[in-house]
């Protein structure tokens, strides 16, 4: 067998986000179930054919999903929480993802949502308990999709998350007894995996890809033992049932160095995939372990989660070395991880008048990455001369980028070098600032606010799109947006919210909006990647040194402030979130890029203050996500991440109130860093997670003000008043009452107006309820 080519997964949205529109149409009732399922099938076929025509040997199936592939695995193995048991089919599936409310009949909240390792992809973790019973669904999705590809003549390598990672990614049901360990479910789960693999084998699959990304993380001895136990049991079950399917265990997002021996020792596994982009240093460990065990390796040399062209020369050298050591039949060339985290293709970038030719020349999206993998494979198979032209073109792009004057901005580099320690702290400590701000802002106790965005209606999106296209004049655009802002301000005043926002109507996306206005940052026309469910983001591309030529938000914010006497909160995205949600240059440490962005945001903060804005929020939802997967790398990251935020936030006077906002991550891990950010008010998502977060804040005695979200914004469901007051009651068991803010979990952009009004009414009523209770308590004390 010669060297083969492979990918671990392909983006599922389609070249023009077809899947998004199908799924959202289905939710709205404008697309029927049949049309949704047929449309999804067409997309899968299209994507398989693209891979086939490019020459990919190992084409995955079941990497597709209508919402999330981890949720799919839960459905495949019947791990469906009790509260959805009365539902079935797609209704049940989407209820788990998004909640479901049908007047008088159904009212179920969604499952939580969590970031997939350090990516901006969110998966749906299922809660497990001792009563969880796994049962393999009949004609399950992996089998259906394998057969579907087979029917068009493509033999795929079905993918499914591996059993140990499945359990590690899941949550423990809140009601489960404390002695319950979800890993105890491994035997029962593995038996169902054996059943599934047997069915896939019977259908004709030769290889299965089991993703075990946790193998690149720090594992406890117990977890290591569970890995061995799981794969020993799986191998035995498959052997007993004479299933001849070969298993590839895929690891990614870090090198395999620390667990290489464990991974290669897993019984019944024929090949291991290693990420050699993040983990290039683990190459020797991986290849030696493969040699020692006689197993095959899949070399992840093409970055699956960035947009830059791969530097083919060093990648090819790794492949060639592996072939010398292991022999061609034990080597395949692959993407570092699933291409799910890359945009679809560069086609759209090459069209139209304003093509940024440099940028296009420096990038490769999923479809172009297939070409890179195939070029490397052919070079390894037939020699470099066979693909000489492609290799030369690649080398030319790579060196062109390195030497481009667009990458280097000496003024930005000099400014960062000259930063003084005083530019990393506020003028006075929080206690002093609190008094000054209280005098200026005169807010009631339990002040209410929202996280920034208000519903983004179709007409709003149309207005922005027309302006971008040039079919709407600037003055008309501004007039319409001002109308929207005025309506949003009025809406909040009517609801009696204390600290208002302008609603972010001008923003497509909280990172893209800033990316478009910063120097050193490019943007794509169609570079969408899935963030969660049907939602996609179009990350900016940070290619050079970053600076802010002009104010980015001052006009909209001051206009909004001019309409009200209440404080108007300026809304910015913080440096770490801009970094994490962008495609970042790979030619300098992320730390430098982060701090450059910190300085650019600082300029904006100072300009907002100068323009009279008294409250400024710098969102950092991604700060936890940037945390390296390995603990040994945490301190270094947290130090520079905190500094980048402080660079952005500390240029103001004591009287200016700095807020930050974070959501959908396990913040317990980084409490100290969160405290070091020293923002005056932190709003943090907590309605989807449980009390764990509040307890973490209690343990570290969060010193400033805190607004743990009191309702979930990802659902149409209007949380009733009692549910909200309960949440505040819970908060008060952990937090000082006079430090609590009342706010939603996150921005309201995905909601409709009607439900927004209803839910915010309950939110304000909640604040008033506690306010009067506090006043009554104070009166009775006197
Ligand atoms: C993912 S965090 C979102 C924060 C942003 N200000 C918003 O309200 O949409
Ligand atoms: Zn948020």
Q: Are 57 and 332 within 8 A, CB to CB?
A: yes
**Nearest 5°: CA angle at 431, between 426 and 435?**
100
User: Given the DSSP bridges, would you call strands 569-573 and 4-6 parallel, antiparallel or unpaired?
Assistant: unpaired
How many CB atoms lie under 10 A from the CB of residue 438? Answer: 12
- The mean pLDDT value for 307-330 works out to 98
The least confident of 138-152, 195-209, 713-727 is 713-727
- Helix (H), strand (E) counts: the chain: 27, 24
Write down the pLDDT at residue 430.
97
Pocket probe for ligand 1: among 619, 683, 684, the residue whose CB has the most ligand atoms within 8 Å is: 619
Selection from 124, 209, 112, 536 nearest residue 340 by Cα: 536
Write down the pLDDT at residue 715.
85
Tell me if residue 714 is catalytic. Answer: yes
Q: What is the pLDDT of residues 420-478, one digit of tens each?
A: 999 999 999 999 999 999 999 999 999 999 999 999 999 999 999 999 999 999 999 99
What the chain holds in terms of domains, given with CATH numbers, is: 4-78+114-403 (3.20.20.210), 410-776 (3.20.20.210)
**Annotation-wise, does 337 bind a ligand?**
no
Residue 734: is its pLDDT beyond 90? Answer: no
Pocket probe for ligand 1: among 661, 686, 707, the residue whose CB has the most ligand atoms within 8 Å is: 661
Q: How far is ligand 2, taken at its centre, from the CA of residue 709, in Å?
A: 10
DSSP 510-573: TTHHHHTTSEEEE--SS--EEEETTEEE---EEEEEEE--S-SSHHHHHHHHHT-SSPBEEEEE
What mean pLDDT is reported for the chain? 95
- The mean pLDDT value for 67-95 works out to 97
Ligand 2 being an ion, which residues bring their Cβ within 5 A of it?
621, 663, 746
Whether residue 527 has its Cβ less than 6 Å from ligand 1: no
| Whole-angstrom distance, CA of residue 109 vs CA of residue 504 | 27
- Confidence band of 690 (pLDDT split at 50, 70, 90): low
Q: Whose CA is nearest to atom 9 of ligand 1?
A: 747
Q: What is the pLDDT of residues 345-369, one digit of tens each?
A: 999 999 987 889 999 999 999 999 9
Write down the pLDDT at residue 782.
67
**Annotation-wise, does 604 bind a ligand?**
no
Q: Whose CA is nearest to atom 4 of ligand 1?
A: 747
* Ligand in closest contact with the CA of 451: 1
**Annotation-wise, does 536 bind a ligand?**
yes
Pocket probe for ligand 1: among 508, 581, 713, 747, the residue whose CB has the most ligand atoms within 8 Å is: 747
Element (H, E) at 465: helix 458-469
Candidate list 47, 273, 714, 769, residue with the active-site label: 714
Greater confidence, 45 or 355? 45
The least confident of 79-83, 362-366, 457-461, 683-687 is 683-687
Q: Does the ipTM exceed 0.85?
A: yes
Q: Which two tokens stand for residue 189?
A: 């789960």
Q: What is the pLDDT of residues 593-603, one digit of tens each?
A: 999 999 999 99
**Annotation-wise, does 746 bind a ligand?**
yes
| Whole-angstrom distance, CA of residue 371 vs CA of residue 364 | 9
- The mean pLDDT value for 571-580 works out to 97
pTM: 0.90
Q: Are 269 and 296 within 8 A, CB to CB?
A: no
Residue 402: is its pLDDT beyond 80? Answer: yes
Q: How far is ligand 2, taken at its centre, from the CA of residue 663, in Å?
A: 5
Whether residue 451 has its Cβ less than 6 Å from ligand 1: yes
**Annotation-wise, does 640 bind a ligand?**
no
- The mean pLDDT value for 20-35 works out to 98
- Confidence band of 691 (pLDDT split at 50, 70, 90): low
Q: Whose CA is nearest to atom 1 of ligand 1?
A: 621
Which residues does 80 contact at the CB level (< 8 Å), separation at least 6? 74, 92, 96, 126
Write down the pLDDT at residue 689.
62
Write down the pLDDT at residue 73.
98
Winning range, highest mean pLDDT, from 38-52, 347-361, 399-413, 655-669: 38-52
Whether residue 619 has its Cβ less than 6 Å from ligand 1: yes
Whether residue 747 has its Cβ less than 6 Å from ligand 1: yes
Write down the pLDDT at residue 34.
98
Q: What is the pLDDT of residues 487-504, one digit of tens each?
A: 999 999 999 999 999 999
Residue 687: is its pLDDT beyond 80? Answer: no
Share of the chain above pLDDT 90, in %: 89
Whether residue 571 has its Cβ less than 6 Å from ligand 1: yes
Q: What is the pLDDT of residues 745-767, one digit of tens each?
A: 999 999 999 999 999 999 999 99
């Amino acid at each position: 067998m010669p060297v083969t080519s492979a990918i671990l997964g392909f983006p599922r949205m389609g070249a023009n986000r077809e899947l998004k529109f199908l799924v959202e149409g289905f939710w709205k009732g404008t697309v029927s179930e049949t049309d949704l399922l047929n449309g999804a099938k067409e997309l899968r076929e299209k994507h398989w054919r693209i891979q086939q025509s490019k020459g990919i040997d190992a084409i995955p199936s079941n990497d597709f999903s209508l919402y999330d592939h981890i949720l799919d695995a839960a459905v495949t193995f019947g791990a469906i929480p009790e509260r959805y048991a009365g539902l079935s089919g797609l209704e049940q599936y989407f209820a788990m993802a998004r909640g479901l409310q049908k007047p008088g009949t159904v009212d179920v909240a969604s499952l939580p949502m969590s970031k997939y390792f350090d990516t901006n992809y969110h998966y749906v973790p299922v809660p497990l308990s001792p009563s969880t019973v796994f049962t393999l669904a009949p004609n399950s999705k992996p089998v259906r999709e394998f057969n579907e590809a087979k029917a068009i003549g493509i033999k795929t390598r079905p993918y499914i998350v591996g059993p140990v990672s499945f359990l590690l990614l899941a949550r423990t049901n809140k009601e489960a007894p404390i002695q319950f360990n979800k890993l105890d479910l491994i035997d029962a789960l593995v038996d169902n995996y054996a059943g599934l693999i047997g069915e896939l084998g019977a259908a004709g699959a030769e290889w299965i890809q089991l993703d075990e990304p946790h193998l690149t993380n720090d594992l406890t001895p117990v977890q290591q033992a569970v890995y061995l136990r799981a794969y020993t049991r799986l191998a035995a079950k498959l052997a007993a049932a004479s299933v001849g399917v070969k298993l590839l265990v895929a690891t990614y997002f870090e090198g395999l160095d620390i667990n290489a021996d464990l991974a290669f020792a897993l019984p019944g596994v024929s090949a291991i995939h290693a990420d050699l982009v993040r983990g290039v240093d683990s190459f020797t460990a991986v290849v030696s372990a493969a040699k020692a065990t006689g197993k095959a390796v899949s070399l992840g040399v093409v970055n699956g989660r960035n947009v830059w062209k791969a530097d083919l020369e060093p990648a090819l050298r790794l492949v060639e070395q592996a072939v010398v050591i292991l022999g061609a039949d034990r080597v395949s060339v692959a993407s570092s991880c699933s291409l799910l985290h890359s945009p679809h293709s560069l086609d759209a970038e090459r069209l139209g008048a304003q093509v940024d030719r440099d940028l296009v020349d420096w990038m490769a999206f999923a479809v172009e990455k297939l070409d890179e993998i195939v070029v490397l494979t052919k070079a390894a198979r037939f020699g470099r001369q066979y693909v000489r032209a492609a290799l030369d073109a690649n080398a030319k792009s790579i060196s062109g980028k390195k030497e481009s004057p667009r990458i280097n901005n000496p003024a930005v580099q000099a400014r960062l070098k000259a930063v003084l320690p005083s530019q990393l702290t506020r003028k006075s400590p929080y206690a002093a600032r609190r008094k000054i701000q209280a005098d200026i802002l005169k807010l009631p106790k339990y002040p209410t606010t929202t996280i920034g965005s208000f519903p983004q209606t179709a007409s709003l999106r149309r207005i922005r799109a027309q302006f971008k296209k040039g079919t709407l004049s600037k003055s008309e655009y501004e007039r319409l947006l001002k109308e929207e802002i005025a309506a949003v301000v009025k809406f909040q005043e009517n609801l009696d919210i204390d600290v208002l926002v302008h609603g972010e109507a001008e923003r497509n996306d909280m990172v893209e909006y800033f990316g478009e206005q910063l120097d050193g940052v490019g943007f794509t026309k169609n570079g969408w990647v899935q963030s969660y469910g049907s939602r996609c983001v179009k990350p900016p591309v940070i290619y050079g040194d970053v600076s802010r030529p002009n104010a980015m938000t001052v006009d909209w914010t001051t206009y909004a402030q001019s309409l009200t006497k209440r404080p108007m909160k300026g809304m910015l995205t913080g440096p770490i979130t801009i970094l994490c949600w962008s495609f970042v240059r790979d030619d300098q440490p992320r730390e430098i890029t982060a701090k450059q962005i910190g300085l650019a945001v600082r300029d904006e903060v100072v300009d907002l203050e100068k323009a009279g804005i008294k409250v400024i929020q710098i969102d950092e939802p991604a700060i936890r996500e940037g945390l390296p997967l390995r603990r040994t790398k945490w301190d270094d990251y947290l130090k520079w991440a905190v500094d980048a935020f402080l660079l952005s936030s500390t240029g103001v006077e004591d009287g200016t109130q700095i807020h930050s906002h974070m959501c959908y991550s396990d913040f317990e891990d980084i409490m100290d860093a969160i405290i070091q950010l020293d923002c005056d008010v932190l709003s943090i998502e907590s309605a989807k997670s449980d009390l764990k977060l509040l307890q973490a804040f209690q343990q570290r005695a969060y010193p400033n003000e805190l607004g743990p979200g009191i309702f979930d914004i990802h659902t149409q469901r209007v949380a009733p008043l009692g549910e909200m007051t309960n949440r505040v009651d819970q908060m008060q068991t952990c937090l000082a009452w006079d430090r609590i803010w009342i706010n939603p979990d996150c921005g309201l952009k995905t909601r409709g107006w009607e439900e927004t009004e209803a839910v915010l009414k309950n939110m304000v009523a909640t604040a008033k309820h506690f306010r009067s209770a506090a006043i009554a308590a104070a009166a009775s004390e006197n």
